[in-house]
Amino acid sequence: MDKWSKHDLLDLQTLSAEEIEHVLETAKSFKEVSSREVKKVPALRGKTIVSLFFEPSTRTRGSFELAAKRLSADTINMSGSGSSLSKGETIVDMAKNIEAMNVDLIIVRHSVAGVPHKLAENLNASVVNAGDGCRSHPTQALLDMFTIKDKLGEIKGKKVVIVGDILHSRVARSNIVGLTKLGAEVTVCGPSTLIPIGIEQMGVKVSYDIDAVIPDQDVIMLLRLQKERQEEHYLSSIREYAKTFGFNANRLKMAKKDVLVMHPGPTNRGVELSGEVADGARSVILDQVTNGVAVRMAVLYLTLGTKDVSKEE
Amino acid sequence: MDKWSKHDLLDLQTLSAEEIEHVLETAKSFKEVSSREVKKVPALRGKTIVSLFFEPSTRTRGSFELAAKRLSADTINMSGSGSSLSKGETIVDMAKNIEAMNVDLIIVRHSVAGVPHKLAENLNASVVNAGDGCRSHPTQALLDMFTIKDKLGEIKGKKVVIVGDILHSRVARSNIVGLTKLGAEVTVCGPSTLIPIGIEQMGVKVSYDIDAVIPDQDVIMLLRLQKERQEEHYLSSIREYAKTFGFNANRLKMAKKDVLVMHPGPTNRGVELSGEVADGARSVILDQVTNGVAVRMAVLYLTLGTKDVSKEE
Amino acid sequence: MDKWSKHDLLDLQTLSAEEIEHVLETAKSFKEVSSREVKKVPALRGKTIVSLFFEPSTRTRGSFELAAKRLSADTINMSGSGSSLSKGETIVDMAKNIEAMNVDLIIVRHSVAGVPHKLAENLNASVVNAGDGCRSHPTQALLDMFTIKDKLGEIKGKKVVIVGDILHSRVARSNIVGLTKLGAEVTVCGPSTLIPIGIEQMGVKVSYDIDAVIPDQDVIMLLRLQKERQEEHYLSSIREYAKTFGFNANRLKMAKKDVLVMHPGPTNRGVELSGEVADGARSVILDQVTNGVAVRMAVLYLTLGTKDVSKEE
């Protein structure tokens, strides 16, 4: 690749396979920084990064905040209450006000899909999507891909099954886009009510029977199941879900010996997976968290290294 | 001016015209810092600044926090819940406890007028008023004056109309004090219910007819209208207010060609001003935000540069 | 002492008298840092410290945050909502996720006694207890001991009475452990309903009559009385408590001339002590706050200086 040219990170649709690989390579060197005695480099000294979260989050926000601090950037947290900001135009207005404080990059999470894209269209500051509605969560997918590559050597040709509530999952969507781009064979698996119709068009296989697909997979990626899905009648019961799709020691026995068990966290132990499996030898859940900081350092570093020439006149 | 001697920034009443000019001059050099690649100077390294807000705020708080960080100070955010702190004496007690952690400066916002003054009387740490009740918001007025001077060259002789809820506005009061001190001719304009009786004694003209005053003005400063004013019977309706006082494209046509349209934010588009005007060529709303950081850097820097000799024994 | 070897600070039971003295000595040099013009040393540069508070707190949290920042560490605040985290296992899971971001030290406060110990057993990161249930608040006791030693020269042989709600007080428990270890003679005093049965086994005397014990004491340590105790029927009324145990000017006259009046804050003026006494010459309440930062700097510095060899394989 000649040179990184993306001013924003909005989703993985707009990154080429080569660009995704470049993020993963860059993250590799930043992972090393976090293992040092002095976990800090001056790369973004004097840059201002604002995290603007319209959904509560401690993990993702903390991960981004640490990433920014280890790059020596100045960080500010802002919370948006959705109420007064329900119209896209108003959010743009708010973001422009933040940008006017000479802010270099805004990390945004919002329950409405497309908000980060809307901001990026209207701002000169870089925009990084930390999750928008059910659409995208690109840094989560990047850290998942980093973890797979780190553990299995490569992504190309690997078989990955994503299990659970595909319908509502931005983690699933971003992983599907990224993993297929890098040549993985992705299957989605879950109750039929939670698999979106036509998902095959994203280049994935669909299964409703986890036991049928387990033996083939290199990676089992479990999604968090929101308890609300039962009340919303997507599920007859959480217990039934746990029985039918929960990944436990019995199902682990059916899998390849060196299978990776992944979960974006926080886990519902006893639902998506058993505590035994979560803490077991095949689980890379905590590696995902560690790699998350490295990947976010790479994303902040790369996007801030560009000038958005397309926006300049 | 010989030397800056103010240990606190409580209001603009207690600053001379010369001192206000000195803040604006100092802010000019700090504005340059925020436009650099590395937006950071070591001026306040090792100083501790606490923001103590008893009213919710993201913008003003964020602006102060960025100002402090760009000067390399250490910052801590503390929120006071009004409930347990309703008595002035107790707030002093809380602030003394904060000060005891060798804190150099406390930025305070409180819904009761006079709280910052009370703290300044009782603390050796510097106190900066980030808004007290309906009385003062000195850094807002300073950034407004900075913006006018920056855009129009000088403040002396300029005609400024402040439009809206003058009665409840600390922004209006601080601007009136500062602008008249620097020789501007200030008019206040709004519904008679929202103009305090006797305001002329502050050296301003009063108008109830925005259309009559627009043509003369160099600056139109619109205030945020709290929706509660309707319920409180200050207004028959927000819609009526928007029609009678809202600044829109038609009214802009009546104004001088190089008029400045200002607003302290956040704006109610369609109420105080139309979106078209807010985003138009005469609007300097985002400049105000940018200048806010510079002015706050100047205030933190100047007040922390003094020793409060009056308080030492 | 040869070398500091404690990887965590969970309580004072597990520190020897010599180790406690070492913390106090270390804090002395850090206190000097906070009195400098530039209140900052690079000791923990590039270290990551997370404060994880499951109970609301601004003072203790702020004190730790300042301590960390003056040592140049990177800090992140995380709040745990108790609800989803009622089971010990789940808190461990959450903490392991935080640790996985290459976090060096977690400061934890929780309403359930033993949570910090549970985390320390399961983490490689250092754990510092910022208060667990009614059990321990070791940094508070250390700062109290620092203050006594600083003011009275030594702790050995000094008479200290702790007054108030001993039953629910982690401050009392940690002080009893620490002070008796260093040779002080400790009395606890309060209404019989608020003195735990068998407390004498911790090496303290018990009194229900404050007036009888005051004349002998070198230190009067007053505890905060939670207003809820009245509703919970531990007390007939707050007013009655204030009359029977409140430390006021009259009681101060009965005390030694150079007695120290202490309180962990925040005070209920008019309940545990009168405003006059709180602000009077014998009160060292604000010294306690100042010393708190120094003691916490020492604790962060010392625990981070160790490798937890016991946990490594």
Q: Which residue in B32, B37, B61, B66 has the most chain A C-beta atoms within 10 A of its own C-beta, making it the best mutation to test that interface?
A: B66
Domains of chain B (ranges; CATH) run 17-136+290-311 (3.40.50.1370), 138-288 (3.40.50.1370)
Q: What percent of chain A has pLDDT over 90?
A: 87
Q: Nearest C-alpha of chain C: how many angstroms from B278?
A: 37
pLDDT at C245: 98
pLDDT at A140: 98
Strand ranges (DSSP E) for C56-184?
74-79, 105-110, 126-132, 159-163
Predicted complex ipTM: 0.93
pLDDT at B307: 55
Strand ranges (DSSP E) for C31-91?
48-53, 74-79
Contact (CB<8Å) C101/A267:
no
- Which residues in chain C are contacts of A70 at CB distance < 8 A? 48, 74
pLDDT at A2: 67
Tell me if A290 sits within 8 A of C101, measured CB to CB.
yes
CA distance C140 to C283: 17
Residue C250 per-residue DSSP state: H
Q: Which residue in A78, A85, A102, A304 has the most chain B C-beta atoms within 10 A of its own C-beta, making it the best mutation to test that interface?
A: A102
pLDDT < 50 positions in chain B: 82-84, 86-88, 308-313
pLDDT digits (tens, 9 = 90+) for B19-38: 999 999 999 999 999 999 99
Residues 6+ apart with CB under 8 A from B287: A100, B147, B150, B151
Contact (CB<8Å) A266/C50:
no
pLDDT at C84: 46
| A307 pLDDT tier (thresholds 50, 70, 90) | low
Q: Where are the alpha helices (DSSP H) in C123-270?
A: 138-152, 170-181, 210-213, 228-231, 238-245, 249-254
pLDDT at A308: 46
Give the pair of three-digit tokens for residue A18: 């080569």
Q: Nearest C-alpha of chain B: how many angstroms from A13?
A: 30
pLDDT at A138: 98
Torsion of CA B199, B203, B208, B210, to 10 degrees: -140
Chain B neighbors (3+ CB pairs < 8 Å): A, C
pLDDT digits (tens, 9 = 90+) for A249-270: 999 999 999 999 999 999 999 9
Least confident of A36-40, A52-56, A130-134: A52-56
For chain B, list residues whose CB is within 8 angstroms of any CB belonging to chain A.
34-40, 58-59, 62-63, 65-66, 69-70, 265-267, 269, 275, 278, 286-287, 289-290, 292-293
Cα-based distances in Å from A278 to A248, A264, A265, B186:
9, 12, 11, 68
Full pLDDT tens readout for chain C, 313 residues: 668 999 999 999 999 999 999 999 999 999 999 999 999 999 999 999 999 999 888 899 999 999 999 999 999 998 776 444 544 458 999 999 999 999 999 999 999 999 999 999 999 999 999 999 999 999 999 999 999 999 999 999 999 999 999 999 999 999 999 999 999 999 999 999 999 999 999 999 999 999 999 999 999 999 999 888 888 889 989 999 999 999 999 999 999 999 999 999 999 999 999 999 999 999 999 999 999 999 999 999 999 987 544 444 3
Residue A309 has pLDDT above 90, yes or no: no
Candidate from B46, B76, B96 with C-beta closest to C37: B46
- Which residues in chain B are contacts of C272 at CB distance < 8 A? none
pLDDT at C64: 98
pLDDT digits (tens, 9 = 90+) for B203-224: 999 999 999 999 999 999 999 9
pTM: 0.94
Q: Which residue in A36, A38, A39 has the most chain C C-beta atoms within 10 A of its own C-beta, making it the best mutation to test that interface?
A: A39
Paired strand residues for C52:
C78, C108
Contact (CB<8Å) A37/C45:
no
From A173, A90, A102, select the one nearest A132 (Cα to Cα): A173
Q: What is the CA radius of gyration of chain A?
A: 19
CA distance B289 to C212: 63
For chain A, list residues whose CB is within 8 angstroms of any CB belonging to chain B.
45-48, 50, 74, 76, 78-80, 89-90, 93-94, 96-98, 100-103
pLDDT at A313: 36
Strand order in the sheet with A219-222: A205-207, A185-189, A159-163, A219-222, A260-262
pLDDT at C86: 44
Residue A81 has pLDDT above 70, yes or no: no
From B260, B269, B281, B278, select the one nearest B179 (Cα to Cα): B260
Instruction: Please state the rounded mean pLDDT for residues A203-209.
Output: 98
